Amino acid sequence: MSTDPATIAFYQERAPYWVFHSGEAHSHQLDAFLDRLPPGSALLELGCGGGRDAEHIRKRGFVVDATDGTPALVKRANEAFALGARVMAFHELEAEAAYAGVWAHASLLHSPRAALPDVLARIHRALVPGGWFFSSYKLGDGEGRDLLGRLHNFPSPEWLLAAYARANFTIESHDIYAGKASDGTQRDWIDLIARKA
């Protein structure tokens, strides 16, 4: 199973209080990723949260399938943007060659390490040949919980790149940078752009 009950409960409890600020931006990596995809193509978002990125994807002219494992976040995203977002955990992805892109910004980092190979295989299957896949993770040296109690897989770059290679993804680029988590902890992050051969 690719969901952690305590992590889902954390987001479920806080989702009704999600506040959008005027001018709040979508993820800064999103436009460059979308530029790689055929115009108007279908894109899956894993972990849509409050829906900000999915709304931008839609405004860019793509067909977005916004999903999240937390029912209250899906409700919040649909209230804010009428996205038609749906509840789906990572391990429930059953699509085959359905999407030109998969966007998983700061979401797969909550997948237990043991579940990640299956999740990556499902994403690979869901992409069309040549499809693109963005994901981001907080780096570390082993699975654990942050100060807010959320499960993180905290991979090393080497562990993560090997997992993607075993899932038959080609890594087109990866970027490691300093970031600050919402629990206040300073951690390095990694962004991966991968492609299905």
Which helix (H) or strand (E) is 56 found in, with range?
helix 52-59
Q: Which two tokens stand for residue 169?
A: 């993804």
Full set of structural domains in the chain with CATH: 5-13+38-196 (3.40.50.150)
pLDDT at 20: 61
Arithmetic mean of pLDDT, 99-116 = 97
pTM of the predicted structure, to 2 decimals: 0.95
CA atoms of 121 and 119, how far apart (whole Å): 5
Positive or negative torsion for Cα 83, 27, 176, 41: positive
**Does residue 37 carry a pLDDT above 60?**
yes
Query: In this structure, are strands 144-145 and 151-152 parallel, antiparallel, or unpaired?
Result: antiparallel
Q: What would the pLDDT profile of 71-89 be if each residue is shown by its tens digit? A: 999 999 999 999 999 999 9
